[in-house]
Amino acid sequence: MELALAEAKQAAAEGEVPIGAILVLAGEVIAAAHNRRETDQDATAHAEMLVIQAGCRKLGRWRLSGTTMFVTIEPCPMCAGALVMSRIDRLVYGSPDSRAGAVESIFNVVQHPALNHRLVVTAGVRQEECAAVIQAFFRERRRSAANDNA
């Protein structure tokens, strides 16, 4: 999770919503990324999506079985669906997302019985630190907007 947090902090430094993700296979990090929606002007450039794409390229396959994804914030429905479709075995995440979370907060896409693949989930890893990074980002964004309107 330390590496995912470092990615999240890099995203914040770039003005992106600070979410970071890494993909691990057999104890080796095979991909790392952070949100790049603003930078790439791409609605799908979430950290999880970018890590899945990089992992597929590195391994030369679309099935990412045997891997674990670490992400700082609970994945959204798009990312949760991609985790299932790419056959990632395990998801470890930090803080829940009460507005868009699709693992426990609003939906549970990654363990839905109607789907052909389910992930093992570990939630709450370094939860306070993961939440603090994103909360500080939005607090600063609100502060800047208030100053701009003053």
Amino acid at 120: V
Look up residue 85 and give its two tokens: 């479709």
Known catalytic residue: 48? yes
Strands 28-34 and 20-25: antiparallel
Spatial distance between the Cα atoms of 128 and 44, rounded to a whole number of angstroms: 26
Which one from 2, 14, 38, 48 is the annotated catalytic residue?
48
Q: In three state form, how does the secondary structure of 85-120 look?
A: HCCCCEEEEEECCCCCCCCCCCCCHHHCCCCCCCCE
Residue 15, number of CB atoms within 10 A of its CB = 11
Look up residue 40 and give its two tokens: 């790439």
Contact, 79 vs 107, CB < 8 A? no
What is the set of active-site residues? Answer: 48
